[in-house]
């Protein structure tokens, strides 16, 4: 099979790393060229949301309904979106090792990008979870990925992996390699003819976002038991039968990462929701909003501020209220709290992905993953924090 033709060469010139891009994707600039204020970006995106809803509200509802039933259809998801052919590599070729880095959506993002890079090199890959902060301290679970998801990459006991390890034919691929390079990050400006033995996209010159969206559906599948409980929770929230706005509110350990100055207030979330509510909900209809948050105290603030709105959330299903996610605490959770935590997370990801309008923040990979799960539009995906490097972050996801 042919390889992807979008290849980046790296040269070191006077101590600096320079990206020598081929003609096909030479329009992608790895430098920041355009700066805008937070207010300018949010205002522009708000206008786009309103324009799209006014022009095509019913069609958007139909598209989201199709997506929703696709994620939770009775048909096995592996039949509609089969796994990549993880064994599609040449004998005696190098095995790529992709480290599991950070929280769940952060790690999955880099695994997705690392997998696309590996396949274009005609290499197989494994995921190294040895240092994953999500594995329990008591070692009762050896693989976070295998516990919650269908197989991603080759199993570590695969004969090809065992032999490659024994012969030293391994190459650890750190995330900076396929994140710092915008071509390997597969941003929307990039165009790709992605045809490999492991996975191929049907279209030629597909943009980077469309490529990642399609590949995500093939790579990422919940294990049947978690898919069943997730889809049942969505049904309980009437996700499949009603329009709603999704709010993604991230607090917790993001303060440690110095993002606290970018935390939007609940008034800011309400303001953005109010711009879309008159179009989504008919006169006299109570607005419905799904709240995905790691700090359930935010839900009570919203309910007090707008008692006439309907707020639904997995926070209401918890045995103990969450007051902010902290990655360093996950490994210490007992099995019951662990399953409850990630069960809530899966429902939130699906609900955010299927919302009529998403309102959230760019500083969490929850938004990145939910965006890739959504249908191919960015106009109804509103980020209200300071966008990355002063730019419209979605252009660089």
Q: What are 210's two structure tokens?
A: 């469309």
- pLDDT per position as a tens digit, 82-140: 999 999 998 999 999 999 999 999 999 999 999 999 999 999 999 999 989 998 877 66
Strands 16-21 and 8-13 turn out to be: antiparallel
- For the beta carbon of residue 67, count every other beta carbon within 10 angstroms: 16
Supply φ then ψ for residue 221, to 5 degrees: -135, 130
Residue 276 buriedness (CB in 10 A; 0-12 / 13-18 / 19+): buried
**What is the residue whose two structure tokens read 């809803």?**
53
Contact yes or no for 270/305 (Cβ under 8 A): yes
Question: Looking at residue 187, what DSSP letter applies?
Answer: -
3-state secondary structure of 358: strand
φ, ψ of residue 72 to 5 degrees: the values are -125, 30
Q: In the prediction, which pLDDT does 36 show? A: 52
Are residues 297 and 323 in contact, defined by beta-carbon separation less than 8 angstroms?
Answer: yes
What pLDDT is attached to residue 306?
98
Confidence at residue 229, expressed as pLDDT on a 0 to 100 scale: 96
Burial of 390: CB neighbours in 10 Å, binned 0-12, 13-18, 19+ = middle
In the chain, which ranges are continuous DSSP H helix?
38-71, 77-80, 104-120, 144-148, 159-167, 175-179, 182-185, 208-219, 224-236, 266-280, 297-305, 335-353, 365-373
Exposed / middle / buried, residue 391 (Cβ in 10 Å: 0-12, 13-18, 19+)? middle
- Tell me the backbone φ, ψ of residue 292, rounded to 5 degrees: -105, 115
Q: What is the pLDDT of residue 272?
A: 93
Bridge partners (DSSP) listed for residue 200: 195
The β-bridge relationship of strands 206-207 and 170-172 is: unpaired
Q: How far from each other are the two terminal CA atoms of the chain, in whole angstroms?
A: 28
Of 117, 118, 158, 152, the residue nearest 132 (C-alpha): 152
pLDDT of amino acid 12: 29
Question: Where does residue 158 rank: exposed (0-12), middle (13-18), buried (19+ CB within 10 A)?
Answer: middle
50 CB-contact burial (10 Å; exposed 0-12 / middle 13-18 / buried 19+): middle
Positions in the chain short of pLDDT 70 = 1-47, 57, 139-141, 253, 255-260, 386-391
- What pLDDT is stored for residue 139 in this prediction? 65
Residue 242 has a pLDDT of: 87
């Amino acid at each position: 099979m042919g390889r992807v033709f979008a290849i980046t060469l790296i040269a070191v010139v006077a101590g600096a790393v320079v990206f020598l891009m081929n003609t096909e994707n030479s329009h992608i600039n790895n430098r920041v060229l355009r700066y805008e204020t937070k207010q300018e970006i949010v205002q522009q995106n708000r206008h786009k949301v309103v324009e799209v809803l006014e022009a095509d509200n019913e069609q958007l509802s139909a598209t989201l309904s199709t997506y929703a039933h696709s994620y939770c259809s009775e048909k096995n998801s592996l039949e509609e979106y089969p796994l990549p052919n993880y064994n599609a590599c040449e004998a005696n070729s190098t095995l790529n090792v992709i480290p599991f880095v950070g929280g769940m959506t952060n790690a999955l993002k880099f695994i997705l990008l690392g997998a696309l890079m590996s396949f274009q090199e005609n290499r197989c890959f494994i995921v190294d979870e040895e240092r994953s902060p999500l594995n329990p301290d008591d070692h009762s679970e050896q693989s976070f990925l295998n516990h919650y998801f269908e197989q991603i990459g080759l199993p570590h006991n695969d004969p090809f992996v065992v032999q490659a390890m024994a012969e030293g034919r391994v190459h650890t691929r750190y995330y900076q390699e396929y994140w710092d390079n915008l071509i390997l990050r597969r941003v929307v400006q990039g165009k790709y003819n992605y045809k490999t033995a492991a996975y191929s996209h049907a279209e030629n010159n597909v943009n980077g976002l469309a490529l990642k969206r399609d590949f995500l559906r093939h790579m990422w599948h919940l294990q049947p038991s978690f898919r069943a409980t997730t889809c049942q929770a969505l049904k309980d929230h009437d996700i499949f039968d009603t329009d709603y706005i999704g709010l993604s509110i991230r607090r917790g350990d993001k303060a440690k990462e110095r993002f606290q100055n970018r935390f939007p207030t609940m008034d800011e979330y309400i303001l953005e929701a109010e711009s879309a509510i008159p179009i989504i909900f008919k006169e006299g209809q109570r607005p419905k909003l799904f709240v995905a948050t790691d700090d359930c105290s935010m839900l009570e603030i919203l309910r007090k501020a707008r008692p006439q709105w309907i707020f639904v959330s997995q926070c209401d299903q918890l045995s103990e209220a969450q007051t902010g996610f902290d990655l360093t605490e996950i490994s210490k959770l007992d099995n019951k709290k662990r399953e409850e935590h990630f069960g809530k997370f899966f429902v939130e990801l699906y609900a955010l992905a299927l919302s009529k309008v998403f309102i959230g923040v760019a500083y969490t990979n929850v938004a990145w993953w939910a965006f890739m799960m959504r249908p191919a539009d960015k106009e109804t995906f509103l980020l209200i924090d300071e966008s990355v490097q002063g730019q419209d972050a979605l252009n660089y996801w």
